[in-house]
């Protein structure tokens, strides 16, 4: 893929991140001229000095129409707690600052439900009475298969109807009266607030990848197998972004071009700074990461990252980018340009 150098790029967008063996979850990428920020959602107390919540306890009162005014997904059958997936629009004012889409329900009236199946949690809530106390904690890495909206703008409309069945991957609306013969008119939900505390859902930094001398690839490490619509970025200190999965092939190309542009601009600026320490006949012309193919008796071929630099009349091969003048004397290999034979290998 040919990435052309241009003005520095800034870009923000939503992608999926697969970190190790975890299920992919939604993150926000923000690309600045010298850094790639990977952010996840969290619930933060913004009253005074911001801090992150562990667990929050909220008491809500059931309404005759709309009930608790929320829907849930998930459960132990998917190795996650039940999470709030929707919040009724007409209760938004009461809910604001207390419950959020993405909150995992840990306890209901003191009953631990973290490891309960979806239907079990639904039944506990149905039988909880007209007032229920929830202990919740925001599930920052909710699996993408839950398809949770990223903000409360996707709230659901209240309803006084409910089906008798529920599914862990479908929204189970919790708006039934706790007893089938109960026809009392209940007051609107009452939400006690913590004095002086205000909560907000925000994007918070998960990982910061400095772009100078970083490398990126769509390939599975050590192979020539390309990931579809996915890539990873690795900083010079080895910090890895994890596998970033884009929503489309076009989006993936846009991200790769933007990241490549910023890395290229940083490299050119760095070359100018380094060249101040070298005479004219020893100036750096180019440097950057490549993948070197090596024959392995146990495998067809193995690829490993190498850092190449063309300086003066020599081509240098490093295992890591040279940072100091002394580093140039410690290259893994040095080739004289006039002794090099180059051959362009076309993809098979």
Residue 115 in tokens: 């490891």
Is residue 4 very low, low, confident or very high in pLDDT (cuts 50, 70, 90)? very low
Rounded to whole angstroms, how far apart are CA atoms 341 and 198? Answer: 66
Give residue 128's pLDDT band: very low, low, confident or very high (50, 70, 90).
confident
5 pLDDT band, cuts 50/70/90, is very low
Distance CA 37, CA 31 (A): 6
Percent of the chain with pLDDT over 70: 76
> For residues 106 and 54, is the Cβ–Cβ distance under 8 A?
no
Domains of the chain plus CATH, in order, are: 15-40+206-336 (2.30.29.30), 47-146 (2.30.42.10)
Mean confidence (pLDDT) of the chain: 80
For position 187, what pLDDT does the model report? 30
Q: Is 231 exposed, middle or buried (0-12, 13-18, 19+ CB in 10 A)?
A: buried
pTM for the full predicted model: 0.76
Sign, CA torsion 101/107/112/113: negative
| pLDDT reading at 190 higher than 50 | no
pLDDT score for 284: 95
Confidence tier at 3 by pLDDT (50, 70, 90): very low
pLDDT attached to residue 169 = 59
Q: Report whether pLDDT(184) > 60.
A: no
Rounded to whole angstroms, how far apart are CA atoms 321 and 271?
Answer: 12
Instruction: Quickly list DSSP for 173-225.
Output: E----SSTT----PPPP-----TT--EEEEEEEEEEEE-TT-EEESBPTTSSP
């Amino acid at each position: 893929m040919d990435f052309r150098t241009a003005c520095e790029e800034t870009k923000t967008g939503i992608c999926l991140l697969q970190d190790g063996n975890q299920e992919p979850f939604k993150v926000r990428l923000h690309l600045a001229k010298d850094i790639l920020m990977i952010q996840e959602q969290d619930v933060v107390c913004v009253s005074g000095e911001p801090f992150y919540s562990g667990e929050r306890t909220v008491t809500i009162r059931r309404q005759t129409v709309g009930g608790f005014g929320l829907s849930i997904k998930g459960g132990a059958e998917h190795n996650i707690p039940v999470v709030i997936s929707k919040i009724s629009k007409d209760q938004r004012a009461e809910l604001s600052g207390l419950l959020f889409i993405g909150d995992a329900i840990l306890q209901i009236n003191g009953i631990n439900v973290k490891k309960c199946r979806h239907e079990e949690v639904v039944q506990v809530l149905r039988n909880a009475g007209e007032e229920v106390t929830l202990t919740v904690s925001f599930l920052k890495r909710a699996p993408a298969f839950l398809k949770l909206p990223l903000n409360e703008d996707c709230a659901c409309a209240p309803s006084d109807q409910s089906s008798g069945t529920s599914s862990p991957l479908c929204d189970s609306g919790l708006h039934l009266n706790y007893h089938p013969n109960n026809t009392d008119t209940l007051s609107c939900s009452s939400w006690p607030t913590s004095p002086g505390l205000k909560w907000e859902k925000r994007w918070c930094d998960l990982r910061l990848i400095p772009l100078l001398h970083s490398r990126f690839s769509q390939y599975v490490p050590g192979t020539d197998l390309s990931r579809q619509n996915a890539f990873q970025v690795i900083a010079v200190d080895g910090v890895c972004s994890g596998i970033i999965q884009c929503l489309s092939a076009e989006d993936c190309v846009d991200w790769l071009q933007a990241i490549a542009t910023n890395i290229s601009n940083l490299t050119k600026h760095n070359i100018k700074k380094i060249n101040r320490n070298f005479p004219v006949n020893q100036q750096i012309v180019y440097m950057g990461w490549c993948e070197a193919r090596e024959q392995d008796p146990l495998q067809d071929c193995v690829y490993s990252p190498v850092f190449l630099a063309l300086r003066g009349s020599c081509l240098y091969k490093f295992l890591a980018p040279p940072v100091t003048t002394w580093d140039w004397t410690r290259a893994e290999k040095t080739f004289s340009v006039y002794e090099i034979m180059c051959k362009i290998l076309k993809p098979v």
